[in-house]
Amino acid sequence: MKAHPLQESPGRQRYQLRQAHCVASAAKTALEANASASLTLYCDAKANNDRFAICDKCGNPVWHGRFFVTDHDYNGEQSSGEIAVARKAVWLASKVKETLGLSAIKLALKVDAEWLCYANAVRAGNPGGGRARALGDLAIRSGVVLTVEHIAGGKNPADQYTISAGFKKWQDTDLTTLID
């Protein structure tokens, strides 16, 4: 008797998973090969102030202010703020990529929320990554080769903009100046 098409053998399922992994791995390799420019951003969030900040490699503010009502990742809790601002940084890197007319760009994202470093598992092709996996997946979809680096909280220049009043729109920054 022939097996139902939805009841494939375990060997066939393993083969299909390996094939999918190979295709994803090839896409990531191509993304990295096409990334001819890079930028470095620092980001931080303070949930008790409902604020976020993104700074350039020199510590200058690029985008900061209150979280938006439309920030669906942010729910008032600190870790949700950290992932929300990291996603903003990846989005901003994709805007730099578009401004320069590139197909891919490298982003070194410096954070004091060490758990966000698990996003690096996506680029390495490893399973897991927990909640940070969504950040790595977003980066790949956005044409951003993401490397998340942990820094001490006191060394994060974005921190000062999460505890002060005011705001800066990302549109007020010349995105071409963010390239390393």
Ordered by start, the domain boundaries in the chain are 10-178
Just give the CATH number of 10-178: 3.30.420
Q: What pLDDT is recorded for position 23?
A: 47
Ranges in the chain, pLDDT < 70: 1-29
- The strand pairing partners of 110, in sequence order, are 42, 149
Q: What pLDDT is recorded for position 12?
A: 64
For residue 12, give Cα distances in angstroms to 7, 22, 25, 40: 10, 15, 20, 43
Q: What pLDDT is recorded for position 175?
A: 95
Coil, helix or strand at residue 67? coil
What is the rounded radius of gyration, in angstroms, for the C-alpha atoms of the chain? 19
- Using the structure block, give the residue that is written with the tokens 């390799």: 29
Q: Are 146 and 105 in contact (CB under 8 A)?
A: no
Q: What pLDDT is recorded for position 50?
A: 95
pTM of the model: 0.82
Q: Are 107 and 123 in contact (CB under 8 A)?
A: no
Sheet containing 144-150: give its strands across.
Answer: 61-66, 51-55, 35-46, 104-111, 144-150
Q: What pLDDT is recorded for position 4?
A: 53
Closest CA to 140 of 51, 6, 24: 24
Q: What pLDDT is recorded for position 21?
A: 47
Q: What pLDDT is recorded for position 1?
A: 52
Closest CA to 178 of 102, 84, 68: 102
